[in-house]
Amino acid sequence: MKIISYNVNGIRAAIKKGFLEWLVAADPDVICLQEIKAQKEQLDLAIFNKAGYPHHYWFSAQKKGYSGVAILCKTKPENVVYGTGIESMDFEGRNLRVDFPGVSIMSLYLPSGTNIHRLEHKFEYMDLFKDYIDALKAEKPNLVICGDYNICHKAIDIHDPVRNKNVSGFLPEERAWMSGFLNSGFIDAFRELCTDPHQYSWWSYRANSRANNKGWRLDYTLVTSPLKPCIERALILKEAVHSDHCPVLLELNTKT
């Protein structure tokens, strides 16, 4: 199973930049999208069918033009779960899950901490999400959580760890939460296979950051421990330029 996660920073804008043509070429079985910034009714859904993804699910924020997640699938999942059931998390459209035989896949868009109010919300969300996932793992032990976590876990995951040590996304408290989340039974699939530095998935639009590879690794494919033997590939697809993020890929052999 080939899974891609992509913060598109506006699905309509990404489509204008060639997203659909890229999607057909990339050919994932499932693609998890974040920050779609659109309501389902604002989209021509037929274009996704034509691209080979007749099963598509959208969980938008209540606020138009903001946040939101989606999952596009080649084959129909057994079950689809919109949100977490926790109102303070769900009104911004940040969690969507599809269940297939042997594996469940979630698209996650964790809040950013752009100001003190949003940082408080982010920490609240992180705590609620951890509790929610702890319970979910008992029901769905083979779980993949793809998405934009808005956290760089370690110094290797950010271009300038010293200057960014007090910036949200690389705060000690955020990094400690990510360590605790991984230690609760998850594998960072990319870092399981690649320990090379300078591997990023987001670059600021300012100061020619992408061309100079001054980036952050904010996008992850995390898998629960039972799926560790199934990891075949985990890549950052830097050539895709429809967003300030780039996609991340995970290939699982669930027959292992």
Whole-number CA gyration radius for the chain: 17
Rounded to whole angstroms, how far apart are CA atoms 202 and 150?
10
Q: Torsion-angle region of residue 168: left (phi > 0), alpha (psi -120 to 50) or beta?
A: beta
In the numeric block, which tokens belong to residue 32?
Answer: 């998890």
**93 within 8 A of 18, measured Cβ to Cβ:** no
Distances (CA, A) of 137 to 20, 132, 225, 226, 230: 33, 9, 10, 11, 17
Say which of 99, 148, 157, 188 is annotated catalytic.
148
Residue in the block written with tokens 């994932």: 28
Among this protein's residues, is 148 annotated catalytic?
A: yes
Alpha-carbon span 216 to 163, nearest angstrom = 13
For CA atoms 131, 73, 153, 204, the dihedral sign is negative
Cite the active site residues. 148
